[in-house]
C-alpha cells in the first residue's frame, strides 16, 4: 500500500474512533439521565412508602404484576403495612398474609371480610364496614378500593384498617344516652299527658310548641300534630282567644298572669282559672316564651256560692239566738254581731258605727267596768290578740265580771276570722252550787246512818253510798269511782260468799229480788246475817239498805 492509502485508512479509523467516542459520550449521558431518573423514582417510592407508614390507618395491598397476564390475581403479591401489623398484633409482622388478617376477626366478621375482598378483586367493588377484632373487644373500620392508573392499568387492590374502638365506645355511649333521654322524654310526656288539665308551651312568637292530651280534647281535635300544625287555640265561651291575649301581656311584662274565664266543653259551660307564665328559651335572655294551663274552677265556684249562701243562713240564725255572738275578721275588725251580743255588753249604736276592732271592744267594756280586773293589762291584750293568729280549735273560759255575773266564753276559728260566743251562766252556776250543797247535805245524812245504804240511778249506775257500806263490805272509795253499774257492785261482794258453789246463779237471784223490790237475807262467810231491803223511787232510782242482824 502506498502512503496515501495509509493516510486514508488512518483518517477513516480516526473518524470511526471519534464517532465511537461521541456515541459512548451520548450513551453515558443517557445512562446518567436514566440513573438519575431511577434515583428520583426510588426516592419518591420510598417517600410514598414512608408517608404510608405515618398514617394512622393500616393497609393490606394486593399488588398486581406489571406485565399482561391471563389472570392477574394469580400473580399478585400481598403486602402488609407495619401499622397494620402493630394494630392487629400480627405475629409475622409485615410478612403476614391475608389469611392472618382474616384470622384476627371473629367468625362472622371474618367471612364478611373475605366476601368483601373477593368482590373487590373480581369486580373492583369498593366496601366499608366495622368489624370486631378479637383482641380486647376492639372495633376496626375496614374499607377497600381499587387503585388504577390514568391509562386504566390495574395497579393494586388495597384494604385499609382503622381502629375505631374509642369512637365506637363513644358512639355506643351516645346511643345509650339517646335511648335514656328518649325514655325520660317519654316519661315526661306521659306525666304531662296524665295532668288532668289543658297544658301548653309557646315560643317567643307565642305560637304553640307543645300541648298535652287534655289540650287536644278541649281544642276539639284528634291529635297533637294537628293542633300544633294549625296553631289551634282554646277559646272562651265567646270564641275569643283569651289565652294568647294573656300570653301577649306576659311576654311584654315578663310577669305571670291569671284570669277567670268560661269555656264551653261538650255542651256545658265550665269556669276555669287561666294561667300564663314566662320562661327564657335557650341560654340567651332575649327570647321569652310562655307556659300556660287551665285549672277547672267550676266546683270551687259552686262551693263558694254554696258557702256564702250557707254562711248567710248561719248568720241569720245566729242573729236571732239568745246566745251573744260576734265575729271579728282576720284584721280583728268586727264583721258580724247579733242583738244578744249588743244587749249583753250594753253597747250603743255609736260604738258599732265606728266599725270597731277587737281591741276597741275590749277597751270599751273595760271602761264600762264589765271586764274582769287584770293587773297586767298589756299582757292580757297580747293574749287576747293571739287567738287571731294561733287558734286551731275551740277555746272556752269563764269571765267573772265585776257586777257579779259569770260569762261562759267560747272562741272558735271561722273562715272570716274568729267567732266569739258569750253566754251568761250566772243563774246556772248558782243552781249548780245549790245542787252541790244539797248533794253534800244528802251525803252527810247518809254517812250518819248506822245502816249501810247504797243508791243507784235509773240507769242502774251508782250515785250515792255511805261509810257504813264501805265498812260492811270491806271496800274502798277507789272501787266505787266512775259510777259502776249495779251488777258490778254486787260482783264486788263475791269475796264474802266463797261457800256458794254457783255464784253466777246466786248473783242473778239477788239482782232479780232487787229489781222486783223483794227483801232477802244473806249469810256471809263470817256468819253475819245481812238483811237487804230494796226500794225504788219515783224517778226510777234504786236504794239498797243493808242491815246486820
Task: Report the pLDDT value the prediction gives residue 40, as an integer from 0 to 100.
Answer: 63
Instruction: Give me the mean pLDDT over the 179-193 stretch.
Output: 84
> Cβ contacts of residue 542 below 8 Å, gap of 6+?
455, 456, 460, 486, 514, 534, 535, 536
* pLDDT tens per residue, range 197-225: 899 889 888 898 898 888 888 888 888 88
3-state secondary structure of 9: helix
What predicted TM-score, i.e. pTM, was given to this entire model?
0.40
Between CA 129 and CA 283, with CA 183 as vertex, the angle to 5 degrees is 95
Task: Report the pLDDT value the prediction gives residue 68, as an integer from 0 to 100.
Answer: 61
Q: How far apart are CA 8 and CA 308, in angstroms?
A: 152
pLDDT at 415 over 80: no
Instruction: Give me the mean pLDDT over the 347-374 stretch.
Output: 89
In a domain, 245, yes or no: yes
pLDDT band at residue 301, thresholds of 50, 70 and 90?
low
Between CA 460 and CA 470, with CA 464 as vertex, the angle to 5 degrees is 110
Q: How many domains does the chain have?
A: 4
Kindly state whether residues 354 and 453 are assigned to the same domain.
no
In a domain, 437, yes or no: no
Write out the three cell numbers for 133.
377484632
3-state secondary structure of 331: coil
3-state secondary structure of 528: coil
Residue ending a domain, among 245, 261, 296, is: 296
3-state secondary structure 467-490: HHHHHHCCCCHHHHCCCCEHHHHH
Write out the three cell numbers for 381.
291584750
Q: How far apart are CA 397 and CA 406, in angstroms?
A: 10
Selected residue with higher pLDDT from 299 and 406: 406
Q: Comparing 30-44, 132-146, 257-271, which segment has the lowest mean pLDDT?
A: 30-44
Kindly state whether residues 54 and 164 are assigned to the same domain.
yes
Q: How far apart are CA 200 and CA 48, in angstroms?
A: 63
Kindly state whether residues 142 and 215 are assigned to the same domain.
no
- Asked if residues 275 and 256 have their Cβ atoms less than 8 Å apart, the reply is yes
Kindly state whether residues 374 and 415 are assigned to the same domain.
yes
- Asked if residues 462 and 454 have their Cβ atoms less than 8 Å apart, the reply is yes
Among residues 337, 334, 335, the alpha carbon closest in space to that of 326 is found at 337
Percent of the chain with pLDDT over 90: 16
pLDDT band at residue 370, thresholds of 50, 70 and 90?
confident
Q: How far is CA 399 from the centre of its chain?
A: 50
* pLDDT tens per residue, range 157-170: 999 999 888 887 78
In a domain, 41, yes or no: no
pLDDT at 320 over 50: no
Write out the three cell numbers for 183.
325514655
Kind plus residue range of the DSSP H or E element containing 408: strand 406-414
Kindly state whether residues 164 and 215 are assigned to the same domain.
no
Kind plus residue range of the DSSP H or E element containing 400: strand 395-400
3-state secondary structure of 215: helix
pLDDT at 142 over 90: yes
Residue ending a domain, among 371, 390, 424, is: 424
Kindly give the pairing relationship between strand 127-132 and strand 462-465: unpaired
pLDDT band at residue 312, thresholds of 50, 70 and 90?
very low
Q: How far apart are CA 193 and CA 189, in angstroms?
A: 6
In a domain, 271, yes or no: yes
Kindly state whether residues 160 and 55 are assigned to the same domain.
yes
Task: Report the pLDDT value the prediction gives residue 165, as an integer from 0 to 100.
Answer: 82
Task: Report the pLDDT value the prediction gives residue 318, as an integer from 0 to 100.
Answer: 46
Instruction: Give me the mean pLDDT over the 244-268 stretch.
Output: 86
Instruction: Tell me the CATH number at 380.
Output: 3.30.450.20
3-state secondary structure of 32: helix
Q: How far apart are CA 106 and CA 112, in angstroms?
A: 10
In a domain, 119, yes or no: yes
CB atoms within 10 A of CB 114: 15
Q: How far is CA 358 from the centre of its chain?
A: 43
pLDDT at 441 over 80: no
Count, residues in the chain: 549
Q: How far apart are CA 80 and CA 59, in angstroms?
A: 6
Kindly state whether residues 523 and 474 are assigned to the same domain.
yes
Task: Report the pLDDT value the prediction gives residue 309, as an integer from 0 to 100.
Answer: 46
In a domain, 252, yes or no: yes
Task: Report the pLDDT value the prediction gives residue 317, as an integer from 0 to 100.
Answer: 45
Q: Give the ranges where 256-368 is alpha helix by DSSP (H).
A: 298-320, 339-345, 349-353, 358-367
pLDDT at 100 over 70: yes
- Asked if residues 519 and 432 have their Cβ atoms less than 8 Å apart, the reply is no
Among residues 170, 104, 166, 92, the alpha carbon closest in space to that of 133 is found at 104
Kindly state whether residues 162 and 112 are assigned to the same domain.
yes
Q: How far apart are CA 173 and CA 185, in angstroms?
A: 18
Q: What is the DSSP letter of 332?
A: S
Kindly state whether residues 357 and 416 are assigned to the same domain.
yes
pLDDT at 346 over 70: yes
Task: Report the pLDDT value the prediction gives residue 316, as an integer from 0 to 100.
Answer: 46
Average pLDDT, rounded, for the chain: 82
Kindly give the pairing relationship between strand 406-414 and strand 417-424: antiparallel
Q: Comparing 3-17, 36-50, 325-339, which segment has the lowest mean pLDDT?
A: 36-50
**Distance between the two ends of the chain, CA-based, in angstroms?**
207
3-state secondary structure of 302: helix
In a domain, 304, yes or no: no
Kindly state whether residues 358 and 267 are assigned to the same domain.
no
pLDDT at 127 over 90: yes
pLDDT band at residue 246, thresholds of 50, 70 and 90?
confident
Residue ending a domain, among 424, 459, 483, is: 424
* pLDDT tens per residue, range 460-500: 898 888 888 888 888 888 888 888 999 998 898 888 988 88
In a domain, 345, yes or no: yes
Percent of the chain with pLDDT over 70: 84
Q: How far apart are CA 393 and CA 408, in angstroms?
A: 17
Domain region containing 534? 447-548
Q: How far apart are CA 61 and CA 290, in angstroms?
A: 62
Kind plus residue range of the DSSP H or E element containing 7: helix 3-54
Kindly state whether residues 377 and 471 are assigned to the same domain.
no
Kindly give the pairing relationship between strand 529-536 and strand 542-548: antiparallel
Among residues 468, 470, 466, 467, the alpha carbon closest in space to that of 479 is found at 470
Task: Report the pLDDT value the prediction gives residue 295, as an integer from 0 to 100.
Answer: 84
- Asked if residues 269 and 263 have their Cβ atoms less than 8 Å apart, the reply is yes
Kindly state whether residues 75 and 162 are assigned to the same domain.
yes
Q: Comparing 65-74, 124-133, 225-234, 360-369, which segment has the lowest mean pLDDT?
A: 65-74
Amino acid at each position: 500500500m502506498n502512503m496515501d492509502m495509509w493516510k486514508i485508512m488512518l483518517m477513516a479509523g480516526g473518524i470511526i474512533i471519534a464517532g465511537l467516542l461521541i456515541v459512548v459520550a451520548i450513551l453515558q449521558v443517557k445512562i446518567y439521565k436514566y440513573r438519575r431518573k431511577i434515583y428520583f423514582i426510588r426516592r419518591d417510592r420510598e417517600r410514598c412508602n414512608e408517608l404510608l407508614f405515618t398514617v394512622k390507618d393500616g393497609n393490606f395491598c394486593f399488588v398486581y404484576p406489571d406485565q399482561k397476564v391471563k389472570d392477574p390475581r394469580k400473580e399478585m403479591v400481598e403486602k402488609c403495612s407495619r401499622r397494620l401489623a402493630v394494630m392487629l398484633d400480627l405475629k409475622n409482622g409485615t410478612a403476614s398474609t391475608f389469611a392472618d388478617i382474616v384470622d384476627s376477626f371473629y367468625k362472622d366478621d371474618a367471612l364478611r371480610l373475605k366476601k368483601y375482598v373477593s368482590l373487590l378483586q373480581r369486580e373492583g367493588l369498593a366496601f366499608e364496614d366495622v368489624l370486631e377484632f378479637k383482641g380486647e373487644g376492639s372495633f376496626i373500620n375496614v374499607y377497600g378500593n381499587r387503585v388504577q392508573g390514568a391509562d386504566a392499568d390495574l395497579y393494586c387492590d388495597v384494604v385499609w384498617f382503622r381502629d375505631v374502638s374509642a369512637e365506637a365506645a363513644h358512639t355506643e355511649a351516645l346511643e345509650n344516652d339517646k335511648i335514656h333521654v328518649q325514655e325520660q322524654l317519654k316519661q315526661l310526656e306521659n306525666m304531662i299527658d296524665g295532668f288532668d288539665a289543658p297544658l301548653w308551651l309557646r315560643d317567643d312568637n307565642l305560637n304553640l310548641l307543645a300541648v298535652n292530651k287534655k289540650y287536644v280534647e278541649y281544642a276539639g281535635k284528634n291529635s297533637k300534630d294537628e293542633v300544633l300544625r294549625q296553631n289551634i287555640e282554646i277559646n272562651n265561651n265567646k270564641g275569643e282567644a283569651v289565652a294568647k291575649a294573656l300570653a301577649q301581656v306576659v311576654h311584654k311584662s315578663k310577669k305571670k298572669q291569671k284570669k277567670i274565664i268560661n269555656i264551653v266543653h261538650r255542651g256545658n259551660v265550665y269556669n276555669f282559672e287561666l294561667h300564663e307564665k314566662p320562661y327564657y328559651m335557650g341560654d340567651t335572655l332575649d327570647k321569652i316564651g310562655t307556659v300556660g294551663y287551665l285549672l277547672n274552677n267550676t266546683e270551687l265556684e259552686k262551693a263558694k256560692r254554696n258557702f256564702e249562701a250557707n254562711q248567710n243562713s248561719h248568720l241569720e240564725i245566729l242573729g236571732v239566738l239568745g246566745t251573744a255572738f260576734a265575729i271579728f275578721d282576720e284584721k280583728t275588725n268586727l264583721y258580724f254581731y247579733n242583738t244578744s251580743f249588743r244587749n249583753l255588753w250594753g253597747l250603743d249604736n255609736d260604738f258599732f258605727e265606728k266599725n270597731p276592732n277587737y281591741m276597741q271592744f275590749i277597751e270599751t267594756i273595760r271602761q264600762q267596768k264589765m271586764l274582769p280586773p287584770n293587773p297586767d293589762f298589756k299582757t292580757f291584750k297580747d293574749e287576747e290578740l293571739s287567738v287571731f293568729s294561733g287558734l286551731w280549735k275551740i277555746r272556752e273560759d269563764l269571765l267573772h265580771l265585776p257586777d257579779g255575773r259569770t260569762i261562759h266564753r267560747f272562741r272558735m276559728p271561722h273562715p272570716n276570722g274568729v267567732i266569739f260566743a258569750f253566754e251568761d251562766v250566772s243563774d246556772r252556776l248558782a243552781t249548780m252550787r245549790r245542787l252541790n250543797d244539797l248533794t253534800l247535805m244528802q251525803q252527810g245524812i247518809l254517812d250518819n246512818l248506822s245502816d249501810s245504804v247504797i243508791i243507784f240511778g235509773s240507769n242502774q249506775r251508782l250515785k250515792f253510798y255511805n261509810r257504813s257500806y264501805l265498812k260492811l263490805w270491806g271496800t274502798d272509795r277507789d272501787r266505787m269511782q266512775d259510777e259502776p253499774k249495779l251488777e258490778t257492785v254486787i260482783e264486788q261482794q263475791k269475796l264474802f260468799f266463797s261457800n256458794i258453789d254457783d255464784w253466777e246463779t246466786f248473783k242473778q237471784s239477788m239482782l232479780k229480788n232487787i229489781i222486783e223490790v223483794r227483801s232477802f237475807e244473806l249469810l256471809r262467810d263470817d256468819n253475819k246475817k245481812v238483811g237487804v231491803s230494796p226500794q225504788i223511787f219515783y224517778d226510777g232510782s234504786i236504794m239498797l239498805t243493808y242491815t246486820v242482824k
